Structure 1
Amino acid sequence: MSVVVTTATMPAPDRAAYWNDAVSRTMVPVEVSPRGDGPLDGRIATDRLGCLQVSTVEADAQRIRRTQALIARSPQARVAVAVQISGTATFIQDGRLAEMGEGDLVLYDTTRPFSFDYPQRFATRVFHLPRRALGVQDIAIRQATGHTIGTGDGFGAILLPFLTNLASSAADHPPAVAHRLAGMVVELLETLIAEQAARSDGGDPDTPGHLVQRVRDHVDRNLVDPDLCPERLAAAHGISVRYLHRLFEAEGITVSRLIRQRRLEECGRELAGRGRTAPTVSAVAQRWGFVSPAHFSRAFRAAYGVTPSEWRAAGRARPEADLVPAAAAG
């Protein structure tokens, strides 16, 4: 039986806040900004098929954003496919922009910033799967996100009718059948990701999506360089600093904060390592590009909520998934 959430029973002044909370609880935490002046009207019907969640959303014009701050506070790792039923949408993730019309679909990853812009009343259907259910590499998912996929677009011609029929009967299947159907969706999405990733590999290396990935790769390779900064990144890729910052606007993080965040992540992992010899805090900080131990300690505490020494002492038993800052340091 579908779980239905609607703004129809809410007083007009409370509808926008109620809707923001409803979308965040049903999907993942997001910011919803209504685009009209009147009271927002919206409805979500949700069903589950094993590990697959299917939600049908009908609502007035709005913009939905998942920011880096929301991801840090609620890092649910899900991969989703949104199918546009009516109206239009503009989707942005990983430096790519997808314009969607009726019947189009787009793949996205909830562990990285994204936005949907719906300029008029719309209906969409969202299929959510846990990231761990998919046996594909993270880089393949990153290459597959943000592309408009239509019924005449290769594998989309197979996937879209299947998802549509599945959603229309999602509430009718017994648990054993539901789990098998969810497994079929997993296999289909793995095929879709592989197809889109292969197309991305053969694309123009100077498109925004490729540039963003190249900058991220460059950052990861050069974290140990204390002089790594936006100016050097821009020069290394033959672009202006202004254009570099524009590239990362859709990523929901500044270039300087990305560098600091990645350094803090590597420091956190090393400090929580299980090696016989525990490195000093200052040695770890210096190894990952922090010049000032005092600045490193302040940034680390702001991100993790504890000092580097406390993290090292208590973090040996932490699983790898926990070694991510709670928020980027300001």
Structure 2
Amino acid sequence: MDISPPTRFPPDLGVRLANPFGARVGVLRLGSVGPARLWDYRDDGLKLERPAASGARWISVLAQVEGHARFEAAGRSCELGPGGVAFLEGPFSASIETVGTARQVGVELPLATVRFPSGYLAGRGADGSSPTVQLLSDALRTLWDAAPSLDVIQGEAALTAIAALARVATGSLLADRSPSDVLLDRATEVIERESRDPGLSAQAVAQAVGVSRRHLDRISVSSTGRSVDERIRDHRLDKAASLLEAGAAGEIGVYGVALECGFRGASHFSRSFRARFGVAPSRWSGPAAELRPLGFTGG
């Protein structure tokens, strides 16, 4: 585990203050273990805005340790006090506005570890009245406090436990999902199961779940900001990135990775990959290419 020294947001960062009279600059500390990033953030009445990160595949799980804050993302918002937990996702712009002195600790996990499709959790939150949420909040704070003394195996075990708690907590949050959400669940299952087939399309997914393509696209765009075809493409690219990170190019080549992920040819795959991740598949260097310094900017 690595923990950085405190980092202050410089004046030229452009953070907008919610209460400019007497407010101070926020203090941020970062840490990491494996593919996950940890942070401890303290401020006094700031509003922070973070732009969407296209192609990002992580989810932020944040525990409100002190004070109160309002979280917004993907058209949703929640207000939490101590013990509450909020969720933000990389592909969606987000803001956090605190009231008075406040502190959050959080972790960024691969979205797949929580096992919900992209867009379902962004902007949602839960107060500490649920035992599971209490456990999750306590685990996040404990992980931060213990991080400097954990070895790699201990850190990975802690992240596994937090991911499991997050799945249970988010499951209760989404127990009242609408029929549209359930339909998107089914569509996601089809995409994940059939993405290796180059013939998979929005029309094929719609037929598999028993609705028209237009209806499914409308629900998908409304809930996730992406059409079904875009979600198929992004899933294939995410799978390709994971294979490349695991060294698959050395065994089956970039063209083999493209075929394995449902692309018809190497050139189309390379163009799509570069557009999504900013580098050619042959130069993909794994999660480090995604994990930039915590990107809060002012609005």
TM-score, structure 1 as length reference: 0.55
2:190 matched residue in structure 1: 218
1:44 matched residue in structure 2: 26
Alignment length (residue pairs): 272
Deviations 1:201-233 (A, max 9, x none): 85546353x554443332222224444344544
- Where does the alignment leave 5 or more consecutive residues of structure 2 unmatched? 291-299
Counterpart amino acid of 2:62?
V
3-state SS, counterpart of residue 80 of structure 1: strand
CA distance in 2, matches of 1:166, 1:292: 44
Check whether the contact 1:35–1:63 (CA below 8 A) recurs between aligned residues. no
CA distance in 1, matches of 2:239, 2:158: 35
Check whether the contact 1:85–1:122 (CA below 8 A) recurs between aligned residues. no
Deviation, 1:64, is 3.0
1:138 matched residue in structure 2: 113
Decide which of 218, 221, 232 is 1:259's aligned counterpart: 232
1:156 matched residue in structure 2: 133
Q: Structure 1 pair 199/300, CA: closer, same or farther in 2 (3 Å)?
A: closer
Check whether the contact 2:67–2:101 (CA below 8 A) recurs between aligned residues. yes
Q: How does 1:94-173 map to 2 (within 5 A)?
A: 97-103=76-82, 105-108=84-87, 112-118=90-96, 124-129=102-107, 131=109, 138-140=113-115, 145=121, 147-157=124-134
3-state SS, counterpart of residue 228 of structure 1: coil
**Is 1:80 aligned with 2:61?**
yes
Deviation, 1:115, is 4.1
- Where does the alignment leave 5 or more consecutive residues of structure 1 unmatched? 20-33, 325-330
3-state SS, counterpart of residue 103 of structure 1: coil
Counterpart amino acid of 1:216?
T
Deviations 1:42-96 (A, max 9, x none): 5223457996542213344454344225x3xxx7x67532317545524447xx9
Q: Structure 1 pair 50/59, CA: closer, same or farther in 2 (3 Å)?
A: same
Percent identity of paired positions between Structure 1 and Structure 2: 15
**Is 1:244 aligned with 2:226?**
no
Greater relative contact order (CA < 8 Å, ≥ 6 in sequence): 2
3-state SS, counterpart of residue 219 of structure 1: helix
Check whether the contact 2:195–2:261 (CA below 8 A) recurs between aligned residues. yes
CA distance in 1, matches of 2:6, 2:227: 38
Deviation, 1:108, is 3.5
Q: Structure 1 pair 213/126, CA: closer, same or farther in 2 (3 Å)?
A: farther
CA distance in 2, matches of 1:280, 1:141: 29
3-state SS, counterpart of residue 233 of structure 2: helix
CA distance in 2, matches of 1:48, 1:2: 8
**Is 1:64 aligned with 2:67?**
no
CA distance in 1, matches of 2:156, 2:263: 45
Counterpart amino acid of 1:56?
R
Deviation, 1:127, is 1.6
Counterpart amino acid of 1:258?
R
Q: Structure 1 pair 184/139, CA: closer, same or farther in 2 (3 Å)?
A: closer
